[in-house]
Amino acid sequence: MKEDIILRKLRSGDPAGLEALMARYIPYVSTIVWNILRNCMSKEDAEEVVSDVFVAAWNQADDIQSGCVKAWLGAVARNKAKTKLRACGQTLPLEEDVLELPDEYTPSSAAEQAEERKLVQKALDQLEPTDREIFLRHYYYAQAVEEISQRMHLNPSTIKTKLRRGRMRLKTILQRWGVA
């Protein structure tokens, strides 16, 4: 089922829309949630967070823009997993939370959202290829520093340094463009 049809069904309250959304995106949402919660919570807790993401999609279907479903689900999954950690008295290190958007963050229009996405992509393209890969693995795919370290055969402290420098570089670029 196409994304537009799924959204139309969700917005009209048709459970088939939710079923199609879950069939398509449960692996993606589960990966994000598990990467954040895996060392701190049980499998059942992670499954609860995944369910909460899809409940949010059902309840906020009007807020989801066509073409942005995956990004919306990813952001909600990251935020809900981090909220679950905090509720249980756990936290992520500061560098893990730097790019987190508040739950209520929604650009006022699809055009605004698309423009922000283009600017961030353009800024990411200015990073060195290795730095860009580390940044995407960590913030987009929600991989932990240790996992990136193992997969890229780099020291964990090197990964942390590259993430910090990447954040500073992106901030500088976006400020130069008048975005941040």
The whole-model pTM stands at 0.56
pLDDT in tens, 112-171: 766 777 888 888 889 898 998 898 888 877 778 888 999 899 999 999 999 999 999 988
Distance (Å, whole) CA 151 – CA 145: 10
Q: Quick one: average pLDDT of 170-174?
A: 86
What is the rounded CA–CA span in Å between residue 136 and residue 140?
A: 5
Query: Residue 109: what pLDDT?
Result: 58
CATH topology of domain 109-180: Arc Repressor Mutant, subunit A (1.10.10)
Within the chain, which residue ranges are assigned CATH 1.10.1740.10?
Answer: 1-91
70-118 pLDDT tens trace: 989 988 998 898 888 777 765 444 344 444 444 444 445 556 766 777 8
Query: Is 29 within 8 Å of 35 (Cβ atoms)?
Result: no
**Location of structure tokens 């499998």:** 43
Quick one: pLDDT at residue 87? 75
CATH 3.90.1150.10 fits 1-91, yes or no: no
Q: What angle do CA 70, 68, 102 make, to 5 degrees?
A: 80
Q: CA-CA distance, 103 to 63, in Å (whole number)?
A: 12
